[in-house]
Chain A
Amino acid sequence: KQEVTQIPAALSVPEGENLVLNCSFTDSAIYNLQWFRQDPGKGLTSLLLIQSSQREQTSGRLNASLDKSSGRSTLYIAASQPGDSATYLCAASNDYKLSFGAGTTVTVRA
């Protein structure tokens, strides 16, 4: 059974600082690793998807890395803004199943 862990559970930073969010998973036989953003009471917005054969993926200020052999992924958010405040979830894909971590709640202070 895939277990996904996200550290830290919460993070508060001043505006402009870079964010580093960590995700670990126990079963390395994944199809892909996906990062999502969730605002309070809302659904999930897909941020980045890294295929199992890739090492990293970038979109604007976001960069995600994947080390499948060690079961780790990291999401980097450069030059954080108050609008980046949200909960960030990572999910590991095995066949049809996405297994989620509990999330990291980020607060960016203006």
Chain B
Amino acid sequence: ETGVTQTPRHLVMGMTNKKSLKCEQHLGHNAMYWYKQSAKKPLELMFVYSLEERVENNSVPSRFSPECPNSSHLFLHLHTLQPEDSALYLCASSLNRGHEAFFGQGTRLTVV
């Protein structure tokens, strides 16, 4: 248990669906992150929020839309995804920049 919880753990969605991934941290951290892990590729940073403000958007397509309503919760809204978006999506948090990062268990997303 890392203190970072992601739901759902598995998600299958069609290309026309809209779904959301949820991340919650109980560590009192100020920064939260979304990462994408595709097969045979290193983890890719998608978004970073610090104190609920987006501080990094790593050229992610607009079909991925993040939301950070407070410092404990982070969402990733998904719409009109492509099969190549199938991957493990990981949420992480850290106290501040440059501090140790803690990861959730991930959501395994399959787009059909």
Contact = CB atoms under 8 A, between A and B. Distances in A.
Interface in A33-61: 34, 36, 41-46, 49
B101 A97 contact: no
Contacts of A43: 2, 4, 6, 90, 103-106
Contacts of B6: 43
A4 B92 CA distance: 19
Contacts of A32: 98, 100
A93 B102 CA distance: 13
Contact of B48 (A31, A42, A46, A97): A97
B31 interface: yes
Contact of B50 (A4, A93, A96, A103): A96
Interface residues of A, number: 24
A29 B98 CA distance: 12
Contact of B101 (A4, A34, A101, A103): A34
Given A31-B97, A43-B2, A43-B90, A100 B102 contact: no
B56 A101 contact: no
B50 A102 contact: no
B61 interface: no
A42 B105 contact: yes
B105 A46 contact: no
Interface string B80-112: 000000001010100001101111111010000
B45 interface: yes
Contacts of A102: 40-42
Contacts of A31: 97-98
Interface of B: 2, 4, 6, 31, 33, 40-43, 45, 48, 50, 55-56, 88, 90, 92, 97-98, 100-106, 108
Interface of A: 4, 31-32, 34, 36, 41-46, 49, 89, 91, 93, 95-103
Leading 7 A-B pairs by shortest Cβ distance: A31-B98, A44-B103, A43-B105, A100-B43, A100-B42, A96-B97, A43-B103
